[in-house]
């Protein structure tokens, strides 16, 4: 991309013949040339001087004007057409002249082109040395925006017509296969208050509109006025025609979710090409006006430049609840929303309807997932160490198995207890009970699940007594309160391994209070996550 730079006009002129050399070589064709009083005249066979006509010598045409005098370095109007003669009086052909307009010597000089017949080019385009030039009805070479409808009507452009509008640089050459930065047609380029836009002129000279997939290997979008679009760009279709528009213009922002067509991001106004197959950190259109740093989010653009949103997932969109990790507890963060999963570079990411990558904690299908920090976003699996808002680190475990991959584990995982992914550890005592539904676990300060029928003590005090006690057990001569107690630990594999199931008919334990000293803390779900 470049701005259109000024290029010095380089136009070759025909070599001018020295008058003496040219006239001495004349041979009579239509008349006889004679030098009289220092001037050349051409006479017919009757001896009368020709006037206001072209006379020929050696195949060259010269114009004799009033009184038969040779006209030099000036315009000639002849038979309704306009010509120009050089300092030798010879009509110029296939060449240029920089001069004032005909009969207007006080006006600014303009470039004119004289064709093989010598006639001034008017209302037409001319190809010269591989380039194309346009001339208006007065023969003036045009620069800037030009309209040409192909039927001898050439004018400076006052509006944009996709099939008939061209741009000519300061040398007059039509721009092809290149960029220009300029004002709109009909707006003066030297207007300091006028907006400028980038335009791409195709190989036929017409300004590009719509989507262009291969401009020097990149993709660009243009509106129906040929102006290059930047920022967030959305496609829309009407009666089979696809058009494109910027949706993050100031005070005109539209949401990505509200678009019916594909959405792209094309950088700033000096960039303009669609981002493809990459991550870009941006403001969503509706947040761009505020431009708060916290509103910057990551977006994924596929190989065609389309931003991925949950709308593209169809029925695979999931209802979700975002969570924040504050004071060691997972708390609901805002209203429920929707996300959809997308695999990018072999990793799983989730996106909302605006295309923003999800990060942090989300409840999806009653399972907790973690997508890393704001600059990460990939779905986590396995053991993770995660900080809360105070900077304290807690252990989590997310399933690595296909089918439930990424779900925060609830229950036994490698003989440690987790709830919605977070490791449950004894906090106030060396051992504590953690109850999940009808299942109760004994955990130590490392989160390891204990599973022996014994007394669990701290400093000699019994914290938890899960011995199996005989029905006739006596203590101090009286029947022991725990007489007949039977505690059964689940020894099967899976999430409930080493748990005590109070509904198990083989266990005579009726409630947690039966196996815990008065005043000891029971860890349950409410200490970990806000569910209601």
Task: Give mean pLDDT, residues 465-481.
Answer: 85
Residue 29 has pLDDT above 90, yes or no: no
Q: pTM for this one? A: 0.81
In degrees rounded to 5, what are phi and psi of residue 385? -105, 120
User: What is the rounded CA–CA span in Å between residue 483 and residue 172?
Assistant: 108
Q: For 400-426, how does the pLDDT look when each residue is reduced to its tens digit (9 = 90+)?
A: 987 889 999 999 999 999 999 999 999
% of the chain at pLDDT higher than 90: 67
Q: What is the pLDDT of residue 142?
A: 96
Q: How far is CA 302 from CA 248, 279, 284, 355, in A?
A: 20, 9, 17, 12
The first and second tokens of residue 460, run together, are 């000699």
Contact (Cβ atoms closer than 8 angstroms) between residue 347 and residue 379: yes
- Nearest Cα neighbor of 312 from 279, 263, 276, 273 is 263
Task: Give mean pLDDT, residues 9-16.
Answer: 33
Q: For 325-351, how does the pLDDT look when each residue is reduced to its tens digit (9 = 90+)?
A: 999 999 999 999 999 999 999 999 999
- Nearest Cα neighbor of 355 from 244, 294, 264 is 264
Q: For 288-315, how does the pLDDT look when each residue is reduced to its tens digit (9 = 90+)?
A: 888 888 889 999 999 999 999 998 887 7
User: What is the rounded CA–CA span in Å between residue 52 and residue 47?
Assistant: 16
Q: Give the pLDDT band of residue 152 (cuts 50, 70, 90).
A: low
Lowest-pLDDT range of 270-279, 322-331, 485-494: 485-494
| Degrees, nearest 5: CA angle 132-134-135 | 145
Q: What is the pLDDT of residue 189?
A: 84
Looking at per-residue confidence, does 39 or 139 come out higher?
A: 139
Q: Give the pLDDT band of residue 509 (cuts 50, 70, 90).
A: low
Task: Give mean pLDDT, residues 247-264.
Answer: 94
Q: For 431-462, how does the pLDDT look when each residue is reduced to its tens digit (9 = 90+)?
A: 988 888 888 899 999 999 999 999 999 998 88
User: What is the rounded CA–CA span in Å between residue 178 and residue 184?
Assistant: 17
In degrees rounded to 5, what are phi and psi of residue 365? 50, 45
% of the chain at pLDDT higher than 70: 91
- Residue 271 CB-density burial (10 A; 0-12 exposed, 13-18 middle, 19+ buried): middle
User: What is the rounded CA–CA span in Å between residue 259 and residue 247?
Assistant: 9
User: What is the rounded CA–CA span in Å between residue 269 and residue 225?
Assistant: 16
Which residues face 60 on adjacent strands?
A: 57
Q: What is the pLDDT of residue 27?
A: 31
């Amino acid at each position: 991309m470049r701005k259109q730079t000024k290029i010095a006009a380089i136009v070759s002129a025909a070599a001018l013949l020295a008058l003496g050399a040219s006239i001495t070589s004349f041979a009579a064709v239509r008349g006889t040339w004679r030098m009289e009083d220092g001037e050349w005249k051409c006479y017919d066979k009757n001896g009368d001087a020709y006037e206001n006509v072209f006379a020929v010598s050696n195949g060259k045409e010269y114009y004799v004007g009033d009184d038969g005098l040779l006209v030099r370095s000036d315009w000639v109007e002849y038979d309704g057409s306009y010509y120009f003669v050089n300092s030798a009086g010879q009509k110029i052909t296939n060449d240029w002249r920089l001069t004032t307009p005909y009969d207007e010597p006080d006006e600014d000089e303009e470039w004119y082109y004289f064709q093989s017949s010598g006639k001034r080019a008017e209302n037409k385009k001319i190809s010269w040395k591989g380039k194309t030039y346009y001339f208006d009805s007065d023969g003036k070479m045009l620069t800037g925006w030009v309209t040409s409808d192909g039927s001898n009507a050439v004018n400076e452009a006052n509006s944009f017509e996709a099939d008939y509008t061209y741009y000519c640089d300061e040398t007059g050459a039509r721009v092809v296969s290149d960029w220009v930065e300029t004002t709109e047609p009909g707006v003066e380029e030297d207007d300091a208050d006028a907006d400028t836009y980038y335009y791409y002129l195709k190989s036929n000279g017409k300004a590009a509109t719509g989507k262009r997939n291969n401009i020097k290997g990149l993709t660009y979008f243009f509106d129906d006025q040929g102006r290059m679009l930047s920022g967030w760009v959305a496609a829309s279709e009407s009666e089979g025609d696809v058009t494109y528009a910027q949706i993050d213009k100031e005070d005109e922002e539209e949401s990505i979710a509200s678009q019916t067509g594909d959405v792209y991001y094309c950088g700033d106004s000096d960039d303009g090409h669609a981002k493809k197959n990459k991550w870009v950190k941006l403001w969503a259109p509706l947040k761009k006006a505020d431009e708060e740093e916290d509103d910057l989010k990551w977006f994924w653009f596929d190989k065609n430049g389309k931003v991925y949103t949950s709308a593209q997932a169809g029925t695979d969109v999931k209802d979700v609840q975002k969570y924040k990790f504050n004071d060691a507890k997972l708390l609901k963060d805002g209203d429920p929303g929707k996300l959809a999963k997308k695999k990018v570079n072999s990793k799983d990411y989730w996106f909302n309807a605006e295309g923003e990558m999800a990060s942090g904690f989300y409840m999806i299908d009653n399972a907790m997932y973690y997508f890393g920090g704001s600059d990460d976003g990939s779905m986590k699996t396995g053991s993770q160490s995660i900080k809360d808002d105070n900077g304290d680190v807690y252990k989590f475990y997310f399933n690595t198995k296909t089918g439930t991959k990424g779900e925060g584990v609830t229950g036994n995982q490698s003989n440690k207890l987790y709830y919605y992914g977070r490791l449950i550890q004894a906090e106030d005592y060396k051992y504590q009970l953690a109850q999940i539904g009808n299942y109760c676990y004994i955990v130590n300060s490392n989160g390891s699940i204990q599973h022996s029928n014994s007394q669990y003590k701290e400093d000699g005090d019994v914290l938890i007594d899960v011995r199996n006690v005989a029905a006739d057990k006596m203590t101090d001569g009286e029947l022991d309160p725990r007489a007949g107690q039977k505690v059964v630990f689940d020894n099967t594999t899976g999430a409930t391994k080493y748990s005590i199931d109070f509904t198990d008919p083989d266990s005579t334990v009726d409630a947690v209070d039966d196996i815990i000293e008065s005043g000891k803390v029971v860890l349950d779900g409410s200490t970990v996550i806000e569910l209601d």
